[in-house]
Each structure stands twice: as structure tokens, then as C-alpha cells.
Structure 1
Amino acid sequence: MRMNEINYSDALPVEGYGPGFFRIGGKPMDGPLCLSWEGAKPWGGLADEDTLVALAGQIDVLFVGTGGEIAHLPRSLVSRLEEAGVGVEVMNSPSACRTYNVLLAEGRRVALAVLPV
């Protein structure tokens, strides 16, 4: 098997996570966060729809990690993202982090909104 080094360009992948935090760019970040080509920033959770809708036009897919278990998104959030043309994939946070990293390494236009486990 041939191994290739992953190149994320200027984007930051999720390097790790644990109870209540994520490690991005070598630094721990507490609480929910939104991660995109712009970098990592705190996110107000599922009620903070404006932060996610603002990504429209810059990304094709938004991965939403809902913590340790998969949960339904508020209908208003789903509707606003669909109207803005953003594809949404909901999964538990560990899966969302891994999927985000894989597609980021492929050069895809993705973002991650994630709640801690």
C-alpha cells in the first residue's frame, strides 16, 4: 500500500477532540465551533443559524456534528440552509470531524459545525 502525505493547503483540519473540546491548529478550543476555510471560530450551537447561513456561496456541503449521538436539526435551520443552496449532512460529532477532514484533504468546499462530545 502506498501512503501519501495529506495536504490541507491553508485550511485547518480537526486534529483531535475530547469531552468538551476540539484541537484545531495545535490549540484546544472549548465548546461548539464552526470550522471553514476562514478558520475556526466559536459557534452558538443549533440556535445560531446566522453563522451557518453566512457560509452560503463559499461551501457546497456543511457537516453538522450533533455531539455523541445523531440528533435532528431544527427545521428552521434546515430550511434556511436549503434556501441558501448549502447541502447539509448531519451525523455524530466524531463522524462529522472525520468526514470533514477527508473531504477537506480532497480540496472540497466544505465546512463543519460541531457540538462537543
Structure 2
Amino acid sequence: MTETVTAEQKNTVMLAFQVIPRLRDGNNFEVVDKAIDVVKASGLPFQVGAMETTIKGELDRLLDIVKQAEKACLEAGAVEVITNIKIHTTTPEAHDTFCTYTRGVTPANKMFIDS
């Protein structure tokens, strides 16, 4: 049996998100670490930066990870969480364009950690 691959499955999706938890007491960074733990447990390629975490995968799964990350913040004591999300979708046809996100990425500055 041959599987049909849709155009959406051929696309590369990168999602960057930032959680900003607010706590009554405690350390915000420890709560943010709980969100990062969710990303690490996903098994998807990711990069943690100073202002956001970027993950690569299928859009619905990426959005589920963000929901889980928010939930982890709330479970860790946040009384509210602001989440900023950026989504970049690239089709196979985009890889010959000037605007490709991966332009300039070389093996020496590999962007993602493969978990």
C-alpha cells in the first residue's frame, strides 16, 4: 500500500514561542524551565534562545506542544501565562528563493538540537 503525502506534509514548519508566566511567589525562570522540559520531551528538533524556543515539526503537533508548555507553567504555580507564537511555513518550492529561513545556515552554525 502506498501512502499519499499531502502538500502540507512536505512543508517545513518552524514555530517559535515564548511563555511569560506570572507567579505570586517563586522564580519565573524555574517555571519557564518546565515549558522547555515539555519541548525536550517531544523528541522534535528544537533550539532554546534567550527570548524564545523554536521547534520544527508538523503544525498541529507543534501547537499541542505549546498548549502542554502553557499547562506545565500553570501546574508549576503560574497564576497566568502570556504566550507569544510565531509560525514559519516553507514549501519545497521556497528553497530556491532569497527569503528562505535556512539561507546562511552552515554545518558550523547548526540551529537545532535533535533530541
The bucket for the TM-score relative to the shorter chain is: under 0.3
Give the structure, 1 or 2, with the largest relative contact order (CA under 8 Å, sep 6 or more).
2
Q: Structure 1 length normalisation: TM-score?
A: 0.24
Structure 2 length normalisation: TM-score?
0.24
Which protein has the larger Cα radius of gyration, Structure 1 or Structure 2? 2
